[in-house]
Structures are given as structure tokens and as C-alpha cells.
Amino acid sequence: MSASASSFSPTVEHVVTDGEAYVRELTAELAKANRGPDGLSSREQFDRRPLNLGLFLPSMNGGGAGNYPTRLMTGKHATFEYNVEVAKAAEAAGLDFVFPAARWAGDGGTTRFNDYSLEAITLTAGLAALTERIMVLTTWHILYGFHPVHVAKMGATLDHMSGGRWGMNLVAGRKQKEIQQFGRALDSSQDRYGMMREFITMVQDLWASDEPIDLEGEYFTGRQCLTLPKPVQRPNPLLVNAGQSAAGVEFTTKFCDAAFIHGGRDNDLDELADVIQTFRTKAKENGREIKLVLPVAFLCRSTEAESNDLRRRILDAVDTEAATNILQGYQGSRSDTVPTRGQLETIVLGIGGYKLYGSHDQALEELVKLHRLGIDAFHFVCWNPLNDIDVIGEHFMPEFERLGLRTVR
């Protein structure tokens, strides 16, 4: 039989007579977002909800599901099966997003900390297909040899696999030890955020254009480039960045939808408030609004005494070599630099995240205070993910709902 695109069906044999119309209809058929009972997609709910909750996935080896460089372990391993279990538990508890770190080289030490890790792109592809509602973010080192055409095509596919629940945490490059594996070097003179700007602009151009385009830039080029299908989310999937230098803040507030922010060393709320104000001011200058996401080391327990005991046990078993390597990687310091006790504690207890200590009631009060300070989402760095998810779902979530913080507006 002969048919136009309007009679397209995946189960009926037909002859295409209008290729343009056929591609449009095929794209429309694929671009259907998963929607909740309220008719909103997961992304629309994320955008409209006052307080979102997320989880760092246990995709790496090490203490506390790979996020605490200590010799004290929780007994679970960073397998794909365990990550599926954690992601599904987070979804069932009502959390809004999950994502893994991306590690191409670990930090050694007694525990070989993070030397073992699941690759983030393929891991999140699997999770996208095996979950239904929760958003799945991929941490992507986009300057580790990727081209904008790679990311545009792969990202659009991930968004389709998830039904419009995918997002990307953009990273320029983490450390010399990683990037040298790809025959490259982290040159301090390189404008890495300039490269990021060019890269993501080209990706967005590919997501926007229905016709082949040429890519002409200082760092990337391409001829007759086309990405079909487009992502489900339009104009683009959720984009996130964690840069906090002046260049990082400028990039994030101009190109991204959310920022992972760091601040409040020793839980200093005045310092954190300054970071929040910096992002809000710059976003306003750029004519945009973005979500501010705070990483939180989840160290609260049923009682304050239990929380203090967990903190002591983690620190007593510190993998000093691994923690030192992490700190030097962030600071670019010499190998003979000896970190202070305070620096070690900051790294060991959740890789620099805000520390959530005390009883569950005390922790809940602290989270509400942080939200009122200007935090739009918490990204929990759990010590024992499955146990901690239960606490979030059973103890925190009802109070957040009572306060109206989970109501989509």
C-alpha cells in the first residue's frame, strides 16, 4: 500500500511519500513525556516545586557508598544492581532526582578510594529505562574528548529513554590525573569555560535545528550536523553546573537551569547566604532564574548521640592518603602538602558537602532553615543510602508536605 506520513504506524506496512512529514510525525510520536496524575511532566514538577530532593548515587567504591574517604564501610558495593535498587527506593520515597558522580580515576589510599566506579553515561541510561517518575541526571565531562554532536545525539536519546526525565550535570574537567588518560592536559591558561560555552551553545543549536547546520567555533567544528530525534524536553533537558568561580557563576547563570552550590564551611550560614546572593544577583543580571541545589552530607541519626558516634567512627577510620589526594586535586597543591585536621574533616565527611548532624528532628529543622535561606533543592550524600532514604521518605517528607514545600505551583 502507499501512504503518506499521516497514516504512519509502527505496525502497518506503508510507503513514505513525504519524507519531511514522516520525520515530523515520527518525532512527535517519540516526544511524549511521562506525566503524573496532575498532567505535568517530571521536569515541569521540578520547575514548579518549591523544594526538590535528590540523591547522589552509590556508583563508586569507598566508605558511605563511595562519598566518604574512610576505611569504615557500610557493606554494600557499587554494582549496577545496587544502584537500581537505590534509584527505585528513592523514587518510591518521593524524591525528585538521582545522579552519579563521574570518575575516570580514583584517589588511591588504603581503600583505593573511587578507583572502582561505574561509568556515569551508561549507568544513567540503564536507570532511565528502569525508573518511571524520578529525574535521572548524567554527570558529563564534556571536554574529555567528546564533541557537541556526540552529546546532542546521546543526550536526546537519553531523554527519550526516560520519557523526558533526563538532565545533564556539565563538567569541564576534574583533575589532571583523569584527563591525561585521554592524551590531554589541563592547561591553566586554557579558557575552559570558554570551551564550555561554545560546546553547550552548539549542543543547543543542534537540539533546535530541524535542518543540518555547520558548526564553526574556536574549539569545535563540524559540517552538515543534524540531531534527530530532538529531546523530549524543549527547548532542552535540565542543565546543571557546579562551578563557583566567577567564570563558573557566569556560565551557570547564563546557560544552566540549576546550580550545585558549595558554601557554609563548618556550616557557616552567613557564608552560604553570600554564595546564594552571588548566584541570585548574577542570574538576575542575565535575565534568568535558576534553581540552587545544596549537596548535604546525610549524617543525622535517630538521636544526636548516634549522629555524633557515627561522625567519630568515620573520622577515626579516615583514609588519610585518599583524603589528602582529594584535597590536593581540588586545590592543585603539591604532593607534599599536609592537610590540617579541619581540612581532612571537611573532605572525609561527605566530600565537602554541608554537614547534616544531630537527631532526625534537629536535621529536619536545619533543612527548613536552609530552604528559607534560599536553597531550592537538597542533594543528599548519604552514608547508608537505603536506610537514609527511608528516613527522608518517612520522617522528612510528611513535614515538607505539611509546610507546603512539596506543592507544585
Break the chain into its structural domains and give their ranges: 41-402
For residue 205, the model assigns a pLDDT of 98
Do 253 and 240 meet the contact criterion of CB atoms below 8 Å apart?
Answer: no
The answer to whether 343 and 351 have CB atoms below 8 angstroms apart is no
**Whole-angstrom distance, CA of residue 192 vs CA of residue 318:** 33
pLDDT in tens, 309-361: 999 999 999 999 998 888 877 655 555 667 777 788 888 888 778 999 999 99
pTM above 0.95, yes or no: no
Residue 382 neighbours by CB under 8 Å, 6+ apart? 55, 56, 58, 64, 65, 67, 298, 388, 389
3.40.30.10, 3.20.20.30, 3.10.20.740, 3.30.450.20: CATH of 41-402: 3.20.20.30
Q: Where are the beta strands (DSSP E) in 117-165?
A: 135-141
Longest dimension (CA), the chain: 77
* Nine cell digits for residue 76: 554494600
What integer pLDDT is reported at residue 264 of this predicted model?
A: 60
> How does pLDDT run across 92-133, given as a tens digit for each residue?
999 999 999 998 888 999 999 899 999 999 999 999 999 999
pLDDT of residue 179: 81
Determine how many CB atoms are found less than 10 A away from the CB of residue 282: 18
How far apart are alpha carbons 402 and 406 in whole angstroms? 8
Using DSSP bridges, classify how beta strands 291-298 and 258-260 pair: parallel, antiparallel or unpaired: parallel
In 142-262, the DSSP E strands lie at: 166-171, 213-216, 221-225, 238-241, 258-260
**Where are the extended beta strands (E) located within 263-363?**
291-298, 354-356
Strand partners, 56: 99
pLDDT of residue 218: 94
Cell numbers found for residue 220: 569545535
Distance of CA 137 to the CA centre of its chain: 5
Within 10 angstroms of residue 130's Cβ, the number of other Cβ atoms is 15
Whole-angstrom distance, CA of residue 409 vs CA of residue 399 = 18
Give the whole-angstrom CA distance, residue 348 versus residue 255: 32
Quote the distance between the C-alpha of residue 62 and its chain's center.
19
Q: Which residues contact 378 (CB under 8 A, 6 or more apart)?
A: 51, 52, 53, 54, 293, 294, 296, 367, 370
**What are the start-end ranges of the E strands in 72-220?**
97-99, 135-141, 166-171, 213-216
- How would you write the pLDDT of the chain (409 residues) with one tens digit per residue? 334 444 456 667 778 888 878 777 776 666 666 787 788 999 999 999 999 999 999 999 988 878 899 999 887 889 999 999 999 999 999 999 999 999 888 899 999 989 999 999 999 999 999 999 999 999 999 888 899 999 999 999 999 999 999 999 999 876 778 888 888 766 665 688 999 999 999 999 999 999 999 999 999 999 999 999 999 998 999 999 999 899 999 999 999 999 999 876 678 899 999 999 999 999 999 999 999 999 999 999 999 999 999 999 999 999 999 988 888 776 555 556 677 777 888 888 887 789 999 999 999 999 999 999 999 999 999 999 999 999 999 999 999 999 999 999 8
